Structure 1
Amino acid sequence: MKGGTIPICFYMILTSSIGSLMATNKSLYFGYGSNLLERRMHRSNPNAVRYGKGVLKDYTLDMGTYGNFWKGCGANIVQSPGDKVWGALWQLKDEDFVNLDRQESVHKNVYKRIIVQIETPEGQKLNAIAYQNVKQFERFDLTNLPTERRPSPAYMDVIIKGAQETGLPIDYINFLKTISTNGIDHVPNLDPEK
Protein backbone atom coordinates (compact mmCIF):
# COMPACT_ATOMS: atom_id res chain seq x y z
CA MET A 1 0.00 0.00 0.00
CA LYS A 2 1.48 3.34 -1.02
CA GLY A 3 1.53 6.27 1.39
CA GLY A 4 -0.89 8.34 -0.71
CA THR A 5 -3.62 5.70 -0.84
CA ILE A 6 -5.04 6.15 2.66
CA PRO A 7 -5.54 9.93 2.47
CA ILE A 8 -7.21 9.65 -0.94
CA CYS A 9 -9.56 6.89 0.26
CA PHE A 10 -10.28 8.82 3.46
CA TYR A 11 -11.09 11.93 1.41
CA MET A 12 -13.40 9.92 -0.84
CA ILE A 13 -15.28 8.52 2.15
CA LEU A 14 -15.73 11.98 3.67
CA THR A 15 -16.88 13.61 0.45
CA SER A 16 -18.89 10.84 -1.20
CA SER A 17 -22.05 11.72 0.70
CA ILE A 18 -22.01 15.29 -0.55
CA GLY A 19 -21.09 14.38 -4.12
CA SER A 20 -24.74 14.18 -5.10
CA LEU A 21 -25.33 17.60 -3.55
CA MET A 22 -22.52 19.11 -5.61
CA ALA A 23 -23.85 17.50 -8.80
CA THR A 24 -27.21 19.22 -8.28
CA ASN A 25 -25.81 22.63 -7.23
CA LYS A 26 -26.99 22.15 -3.67
CA SER A 27 -25.12 22.68 -0.42
CA LEU A 28 -25.66 21.95 3.24
CA TYR A 29 -26.36 24.70 5.74
CA PHE A 30 -25.88 24.30 9.50
CA GLY A 31 -28.55 26.19 11.45
CA TYR A 32 -27.90 26.54 15.18
CA GLY A 33 -30.18 29.45 16.13
CA SER A 34 -33.70 30.32 15.02
CA ASN A 35 -33.16 28.33 11.81
CA LEU A 36 -33.48 25.14 13.82
CA LEU A 37 -37.24 25.66 13.50
CA GLU A 38 -38.67 24.68 10.12
CA ARG A 39 -41.29 27.45 10.15
CA ARG A 40 -38.57 30.07 10.69
CA MET A 41 -36.28 28.53 8.08
CA HIS A 42 -39.07 28.45 5.51
CA ARG A 43 -39.99 32.09 6.14
CA SER A 44 -37.15 33.26 3.87
CA ASN A 45 -36.08 29.92 2.41
CA PRO A 46 -39.19 27.97 1.36
CA ASN A 47 -37.18 25.51 -0.75
CA ALA A 48 -34.94 24.39 2.13
CA VAL A 49 -35.13 20.66 2.88
CA ARG A 50 -34.23 19.30 6.31
CA TYR A 51 -31.26 16.98 5.80
CA GLY A 52 -30.72 15.92 9.40
CA LYS A 53 -28.90 17.04 12.51
CA GLY A 54 -25.32 17.22 13.61
CA VAL A 55 -22.75 18.63 15.97
CA LEU A 56 -20.07 21.25 15.40
CA LYS A 57 -17.14 20.33 17.61
CA ASP A 58 -14.67 22.78 19.17
CA TYR A 59 -17.17 25.64 18.98
CA THR A 60 -19.54 27.06 21.56
CA LEU A 61 -22.84 28.91 21.30
CA ASP A 62 -22.78 32.62 22.10
CA MET A 63 -25.07 35.62 21.71
CA GLY A 64 -23.85 38.47 19.54
CA THR A 65 -25.41 41.31 17.59
CA TYR A 66 -28.74 42.91 18.53
CA GLY A 67 -31.45 42.53 15.89
CA ASN A 68 -34.69 44.50 15.54
CA PHE A 69 -36.59 41.51 14.14
CA TRP A 70 -36.22 39.62 17.43
CA LYS A 71 -35.74 42.63 19.75
CA GLY A 72 -32.68 40.96 21.20
CA CYS A 73 -29.31 39.47 20.37
CA GLY A 74 -28.91 36.64 17.91
CA ALA A 75 -26.99 33.40 18.24
CA ASN A 76 -23.37 33.11 17.21
CA ILE A 77 -20.75 30.37 17.13
CA VAL A 78 -17.26 30.90 18.55
CA GLN A 79 -14.27 28.58 18.43
CA SER A 80 -13.82 26.92 21.81
CA PRO A 81 -11.75 23.71 22.11
CA GLY A 82 -13.66 20.86 23.71
CA ASP A 83 -17.10 22.47 23.38
CA LYS A 84 -19.83 21.67 20.85
CA VAL A 85 -22.86 23.21 19.20
CA TRP A 86 -25.75 21.08 17.97
CA GLY A 87 -27.85 22.14 15.01
CA ALA A 88 -29.98 21.29 12.01
CA LEU A 89 -28.59 20.47 8.59
CA TRP A 90 -30.57 21.93 5.71
CA GLN A 91 -30.12 21.28 2.01
CA LEU A 92 -30.42 24.40 -0.15
CA LYS A 93 -29.88 25.23 -3.78
CA ASP A 94 -26.75 27.33 -4.07
CA GLU A 95 -28.73 30.26 -5.50
CA ASP A 96 -31.01 30.24 -2.43
CA PHE A 97 -28.13 31.21 -0.15
CA VAL A 98 -28.74 34.82 -1.23
CA ASN A 99 -31.92 34.65 0.91
CA LEU A 100 -29.94 33.43 3.91
CA ASP A 101 -27.30 36.09 3.33
CA ARG A 102 -30.04 38.74 3.45
CA GLN A 103 -31.68 37.19 6.52
CA GLU A 104 -28.31 37.08 8.32
CA SER A 105 -27.43 40.66 7.25
CA VAL A 106 -24.26 39.69 5.40
CA HIS A 107 -24.68 42.87 3.31
CA LYS A 108 -24.52 44.91 6.55
CA ASN A 109 -21.37 43.08 7.69
CA VAL A 110 -23.19 41.52 10.67
CA TYR A 111 -22.61 37.85 9.80
CA LYS A 112 -20.27 36.11 7.38
CA ARG A 113 -20.40 32.69 5.79
CA ILE A 114 -17.93 30.08 7.01
CA ILE A 115 -17.42 26.43 6.12
CA VAL A 116 -17.62 24.07 9.09
CA GLN A 117 -17.34 20.32 9.48
CA ILE A 118 -20.43 18.78 11.05
CA GLU A 119 -20.56 15.29 12.50
CA THR A 120 -23.87 13.45 12.29
CA PRO A 121 -25.08 11.11 15.06
CA GLU A 122 -23.99 8.23 12.79
CA GLY A 123 -20.42 9.58 12.72
CA GLN A 124 -20.53 10.93 9.17
CA LYS A 125 -18.51 14.13 8.67
CA LEU A 126 -19.99 16.70 6.30
CA ASN A 127 -18.96 20.17 5.23
CA ALA A 128 -21.67 22.78 5.65
CA ILE A 129 -22.09 26.53 5.42
CA ALA A 130 -22.74 28.32 8.70
CA TYR A 131 -22.96 31.98 9.65
CA GLN A 132 -20.75 33.64 12.25
CA ASN A 133 -20.75 37.19 13.60
CA VAL A 134 -18.12 39.38 11.95
CA LYS A 135 -17.60 41.30 15.19
CA GLN A 136 -15.72 39.58 18.02
CA PHE A 137 -17.56 39.76 21.35
CA GLU A 138 -16.34 39.37 24.89
CA ARG A 139 -17.30 35.94 26.19
CA PHE A 140 -19.77 35.61 29.06
CA ASP A 141 -21.56 32.75 30.77
CA LEU A 142 -24.82 32.37 28.82
CA THR A 143 -26.77 31.93 32.04
CA ASN A 144 -25.68 35.39 33.20
CA LEU A 145 -25.29 37.57 30.12
CA PRO A 146 -25.15 41.36 30.39
CA THR A 147 -28.55 42.83 29.46
CA GLU A 148 -27.26 44.26 26.16
CA ARG A 149 -26.15 40.77 25.02
CA ARG A 150 -29.30 38.86 25.90
CA PRO A 151 -31.71 37.32 23.39
CA SER A 152 -35.44 37.92 23.63
CA PRO A 153 -37.71 35.27 25.17
CA ALA A 154 -39.41 34.81 21.77
CA TYR A 155 -36.06 34.12 20.10
CA MET A 156 -35.09 31.53 22.69
CA ASP A 157 -38.55 29.96 22.45
CA VAL A 158 -38.07 29.50 18.69
CA ILE A 159 -34.59 28.03 19.23
CA ILE A 160 -35.84 25.59 21.88
CA LYS A 161 -38.85 24.54 19.78
CA GLY A 162 -36.53 24.13 16.80
CA ALA A 163 -34.10 22.03 18.84
CA GLN A 164 -36.99 19.78 19.90
CA GLU A 165 -38.32 19.60 16.34
CA THR A 166 -34.84 18.71 15.06
CA GLY A 167 -34.44 15.99 17.69
CA LEU A 168 -31.37 17.42 19.37
CA PRO A 169 -30.11 15.73 22.56
CA ILE A 170 -32.17 16.50 25.67
CA ASP A 171 -29.12 17.71 27.61
CA TYR A 172 -28.44 20.29 24.88
CA ILE A 173 -32.10 21.40 24.91
CA ASN A 174 -31.92 21.75 28.70
CA PHE A 175 -28.77 23.86 28.28
CA LEU A 176 -30.63 26.15 25.85
CA LYS A 177 -33.36 26.64 28.46
CA THR A 178 -30.79 28.12 30.89
CA ILE A 179 -29.76 31.02 28.61
CA SER A 180 -30.73 34.36 30.16
CA THR A 181 -33.13 36.56 28.16
CA ASN A 182 -33.83 40.29 28.07
CA GLY A 183 -37.50 39.97 29.08
CA ILE A 184 -38.77 42.02 26.11
CA ASP A 185 -42.28 40.86 25.21
CA HIS A 186 -42.21 40.72 21.41
CA VAL A 187 -43.33 37.99 19.01
CA PRO A 188 -42.14 38.50 15.43
CA ASN A 189 -44.15 37.48 12.38
CA LEU A 190 -42.84 34.12 11.14
CA ASP A 191 -45.24 33.92 8.19
CA PRO A 192 -43.53 33.38 4.81
CA GLU A 193 -42.11 36.50 3.18
CA LYS A 194 -43.87 37.66 0.06
Structure 2
Amino acid sequence: MSASADFSTGLAFDGRPDRHYVFAYGANMHPAQIAERCSRPVVLGPARLPGHVLGFFGHSHVWDGGHATAVPVPGQDLWGVLYELSYMDAQRLDAWQDARLDGAGSYFHYPARVFCSDGGGHVALLYKKDVLGPPTTPSREYLARIIEGAAARGLPEAYVAVLRNMAAKPAGYAVPDRGGALRELNIVTSCAQCDG
Protein backbone atom coordinates (compact mmCIF):
# COMPACT_ATOMS: atom_id res chain seq x y z
CA MET A 1 0.00 0.00 0.00
CA SER A 2 1.40 3.38 -0.94
CA ALA A 3 1.01 6.64 0.93
CA SER A 4 1.13 10.26 -0.11
CA ALA A 5 2.18 13.05 2.22
CA ASP A 6 0.15 16.09 3.20
CA PHE A 7 2.82 18.52 4.32
CA SER A 8 0.32 20.88 5.97
CA THR A 9 -0.66 18.29 8.59
CA GLY A 10 2.28 15.90 8.63
CA LEU A 11 -0.13 13.00 7.99
CA ALA A 12 0.48 10.46 5.25
CA PHE A 13 -2.61 9.35 3.34
CA ASP A 14 -3.11 5.61 2.97
CA GLY A 15 -4.07 3.74 -0.17
CA ARG A 16 -3.42 4.16 -3.86
CA PRO A 17 -2.77 7.64 -5.27
CA ASP A 18 -5.88 7.34 -7.48
CA ARG A 19 -8.12 6.42 -4.52
CA HIS A 20 -9.26 8.42 -1.51
CA TYR A 21 -10.15 7.31 2.00
CA VAL A 22 -13.18 9.21 3.26
CA PHE A 23 -14.64 8.99 6.76
CA ALA A 24 -18.43 9.49 6.71
CA TYR A 25 -20.20 10.11 10.01
CA GLY A 26 -23.55 11.60 8.91
CA ALA A 27 -26.14 10.68 6.29
CA ASN A 28 -23.41 9.51 3.87
CA MET A 29 -23.15 6.38 6.04
CA HIS A 30 -26.54 5.34 4.64
CA PRO A 31 -26.10 2.78 1.84
CA ALA A 32 -28.77 4.39 -0.39
CA GLN A 33 -27.35 7.88 -0.01
CA ILE A 34 -23.72 7.00 -0.76
CA ALA A 35 -24.90 4.87 -3.72
CA GLU A 36 -26.77 7.91 -5.07
CA ARG A 37 -23.67 10.09 -4.77
CA CYS A 38 -20.86 7.69 -5.72
CA SER A 39 -20.75 5.04 -8.45
CA ARG A 40 -18.48 2.48 -6.74
CA PRO A 41 -17.85 3.27 -3.07
CA VAL A 42 -15.87 0.55 -1.30
CA VAL A 43 -16.90 0.09 2.33
CA LEU A 44 -13.83 -0.61 4.45
CA GLY A 45 -15.93 -0.84 7.62
CA PRO A 46 -16.87 1.01 10.79
CA ALA A 47 -14.27 3.45 12.10
CA ARG A 48 -13.96 5.97 14.91
CA LEU A 49 -12.50 9.44 15.08
CA PRO A 50 -11.07 10.11 18.56
CA GLY A 51 -11.65 13.46 20.22
CA HIS A 52 -14.83 14.37 18.32
CA VAL A 53 -18.63 14.13 18.57
CA LEU A 54 -21.51 14.64 16.16
CA GLY A 55 -22.97 18.15 16.19
CA PHE A 56 -25.53 20.03 14.12
CA PHE A 57 -25.18 23.61 12.91
CA GLY A 58 -26.67 25.94 10.31
CA HIS A 59 -29.77 25.03 8.31
CA SER A 60 -30.22 22.48 5.54
CA HIS A 61 -33.07 23.26 3.15
CA VAL A 62 -32.85 19.65 1.99
CA TRP A 63 -33.63 18.27 5.47
CA ASP A 64 -35.18 21.36 7.17
CA GLY A 65 -32.82 21.32 10.13
CA GLY A 66 -29.20 21.48 11.24
CA HIS A 67 -26.31 20.12 9.14
CA ALA A 68 -24.11 17.38 10.67
CA THR A 69 -20.46 18.10 11.43
CA ALA A 70 -17.62 16.72 13.53
CA VAL A 71 -17.03 18.80 16.67
CA PRO A 72 -13.83 18.49 18.73
CA VAL A 73 -14.51 17.16 22.25
CA PRO A 74 -11.55 15.59 24.10
CA GLY A 75 -12.14 12.07 25.37
CA GLN A 76 -15.11 11.34 23.08
CA ASP A 77 -15.33 9.22 19.92
CA LEU A 78 -17.24 9.96 16.72
CA TRP A 79 -18.16 6.75 14.90
CA GLY A 80 -18.67 6.47 11.18
CA VAL A 81 -17.80 4.49 8.06
CA LEU A 82 -14.49 4.42 6.22
CA TYR A 83 -14.91 4.41 2.44
CA GLU A 84 -12.38 4.04 -0.33
CA LEU A 85 -13.44 6.20 -3.29
CA SER A 86 -12.14 6.66 -6.80
CA TYR A 87 -10.95 10.12 -7.76
CA MET A 88 -14.19 10.72 -9.72
CA ASP A 89 -16.41 9.53 -6.86
CA ALA A 90 -14.51 11.79 -4.47
CA GLN A 91 -15.15 14.73 -6.81
CA ARG A 92 -18.86 13.86 -6.98
CA LEU A 93 -19.08 13.65 -3.21
CA ASP A 94 -17.30 17.01 -2.90
CA ALA A 95 -19.98 18.54 -5.14
CA TRP A 96 -22.79 17.04 -3.05
CA GLN A 97 -21.13 18.28 0.17
CA ASP A 98 -20.31 21.70 -1.33
CA ALA A 99 -16.61 21.25 -0.47
CA ARG A 100 -14.53 23.51 -2.72
CA LEU A 101 -10.82 23.89 -3.30
CA ASP A 102 -11.08 27.66 -2.80
CA GLY A 103 -12.63 27.14 0.64
CA ALA A 104 -15.86 28.95 -0.27
CA GLY A 105 -18.14 25.94 0.25
CA SER A 106 -20.27 24.85 3.19
CA TYR A 107 -17.83 22.07 4.13
CA PHE A 108 -14.07 21.66 3.91
CA HIS A 109 -11.75 18.66 3.80
CA TYR A 110 -10.28 17.78 7.17
CA PRO A 111 -7.53 15.13 7.26
CA ALA A 112 -7.57 12.93 10.34
CA ARG A 113 -6.48 9.52 11.57
CA VAL A 114 -9.43 7.20 12.10
CA PHE A 115 -9.35 3.75 13.66
CA CYS A 116 -11.12 0.65 12.36
CA SER A 117 -12.66 -2.07 14.51
CA ASP A 118 -9.45 -4.12 14.25
CA GLY A 119 -7.52 -1.21 15.80
CA GLY A 120 -5.72 -0.28 12.59
CA GLY A 121 -5.40 3.44 11.91
CA HIS A 122 -5.89 5.10 8.53
CA VAL A 123 -5.52 8.71 7.45
CA ALA A 124 -8.72 9.80 5.76
CA LEU A 125 -10.53 12.95 4.74
CA LEU A 126 -13.76 13.95 6.38
CA TYR A 127 -16.09 16.84 5.72
CA LYS A 128 -16.40 19.51 8.41
CA LYS A 129 -18.60 22.59 8.39
CA ASP A 130 -16.71 25.77 7.63
CA VAL A 131 -18.81 28.09 9.83
CA LEU A 132 -20.53 26.73 12.91
CA GLY A 133 -22.43 29.48 14.72
CA PRO A 134 -24.86 28.34 17.41
CA PRO A 135 -25.89 24.67 17.48
CA THR A 136 -29.18 23.88 15.72
CA THR A 137 -31.55 20.93 15.95
CA PRO A 138 -31.63 18.44 13.07
CA SER A 139 -34.91 17.30 11.59
CA ARG A 140 -36.22 13.98 12.87
CA GLU A 141 -36.09 12.65 9.30
CA TYR A 142 -32.42 13.61 8.82
CA LEU A 143 -31.42 12.07 12.14
CA ALA A 144 -33.37 8.92 11.20
CA ARG A 145 -31.34 8.68 7.95
CA ILE A 146 -28.11 8.93 10.00
CA ILE A 147 -29.32 6.30 12.49
CA GLU A 148 -30.38 3.93 9.68
CA GLY A 149 -26.95 4.32 8.09
CA ALA A 150 -25.15 3.72 11.38
CA ALA A 151 -27.14 0.54 12.04
CA ALA A 152 -26.75 -0.71 8.45
CA ARG A 153 -22.97 -0.25 8.59
CA GLY A 154 -22.59 -2.10 11.89
CA LEU A 155 -21.57 0.76 14.16
CA PRO A 156 -21.49 -0.16 17.88
CA GLU A 157 -24.98 -0.47 19.35
CA ALA A 158 -24.02 1.83 22.24
CA TYR A 159 -23.19 4.57 19.71
CA VAL A 160 -26.41 3.97 17.76
CA ALA A 161 -28.28 4.36 21.07
CA VAL A 162 -26.57 7.75 21.60
CA LEU A 163 -27.81 8.81 18.15
CA ARG A 164 -31.34 7.64 18.97
CA ASN A 165 -31.34 9.82 22.10
CA MET A 166 -30.32 13.03 20.29
CA ALA A 167 -32.82 15.88 20.14
CA ALA A 168 -34.60 16.31 16.80
CA LYS A 169 -37.64 18.17 15.47
CA PRO A 170 -40.13 17.21 12.77
CA ALA A 171 -39.43 18.76 9.38
CA GLY A 172 -41.85 21.50 8.37
CA TYR A 173 -42.17 20.13 4.82
CA ALA A 174 -41.56 16.90 2.89
CA VAL A 175 -37.88 15.93 3.09
CA PRO A 176 -35.46 15.31 1.59
CA ASP A 177 -36.28 18.32 -0.60
CA ARG A 178 -33.98 17.89 -3.61
CA GLY A 179 -35.22 21.22 -4.99
CA GLY A 180 -33.79 22.75 -1.82
CA ALA A 181 -30.42 21.21 -2.63
CA LEU A 182 -30.48 22.81 -6.06
CA ARG A 183 -31.50 26.17 -4.57
CA GLU A 184 -28.65 25.95 -2.04
CA LEU A 185 -26.18 25.08 -4.79
CA ASN A 186 -27.40 27.96 -6.97
CA ILE A 187 -27.28 30.45 -4.11
CA VAL A 188 -23.77 29.44 -3.07
CA THR A 189 -22.61 29.52 -6.71
CA SER A 190 -24.21 32.92 -7.26
CA CYS A 191 -22.72 34.39 -4.09
CA ALA A 192 -19.26 33.12 -4.99
CA GLN A 193 -19.50 35.29 -8.11
CA CYS A 194 -20.47 38.44 -6.16
CA ASP A 195 -18.01 41.30 -5.90
CA GLY A 196 -19.02 42.63 -2.62
TM-score scaled by structure 1? 0.78
Q: Pick one of 35, 44, 50 that aligns with 1:57.
A: 50
- Matches of 1:98 and 1:135 in 2, distance apart? 22
Q: Pick one of 92, 96, 101 that aligns with 2:89.
A: 96
Q: Which has the larger helix fraction?
A: 1
- Matches of 2:35 and 2:99 in 1, distance apart? 19
Does residue 186 of structure 1 match 2:174? yes
Identical residues among aligned pairs (%): 24
CA contact (8 A) 1:56 1:84 kept: yes
Query: How many residues are aligned here?
Result: 164
Residue of structure 2 in register with 1:4 after alignment: none
Does residue 133 of structure 1 match 2:116? no
Q: Tell me how far 1:136 sits from its aligned partner.
A: 3.0
Residue of structure 2 in register with 1:80 after alignment: 73
CA contact (8 A) 1:154 1:186 kept: no
Structure having the higher Rg: 1
- Matches of 1:38 and 1:93 in 2, distance apart? 17
Q: Which runs of 5+ in 2 are unaligned?
A: 1-10, 179-196
Deviations 1:86-114 (A, max 9, x none): 00111101232221111112245211011
- Secondary structure at the counterpart of residue 142 of structure 2: helix
Matches within 5 A, 1:1-194: 18=14, 21-23=15-17, 25-107=18-100, 109-138=105-134, 149-184=136-171, 186-188=174-176
Q: Tell me how far 1:138 sits from its aligned partner.
A: 3.9
- Secondary structure at the counterpart of residue 106 of structure 1: coil
- Secondary structure at the counterpart of residue 22 of structure 1: coil
Aligned partner letter, 1:188: P
- Matches of 2:109 and 2:122 in 1, distance apart? 16
CA contact (8 A) 1:31 1:88 kept: yes
Q: Tell me how far 1:46 sits from its aligned partner.
A: 2.1
Q: Which runs of 5+ in 1 are unaligned?
A: 1-13, 140-148
- Matches of 1:189 and 1:63 in 2, distance apart? 18
CA contact (8 A) 1:65 1:110 kept: no
Deviations 1:19-61 (A, max 9, x none): xx315x1111100000111101111112212111110001111
Aligned partner letter, 2:110: I
TM-score scaled by structure 2? 0.77
Deviations 1:137-164 (A, max 9, x none): 346xxxxxxxxx1111111111111010
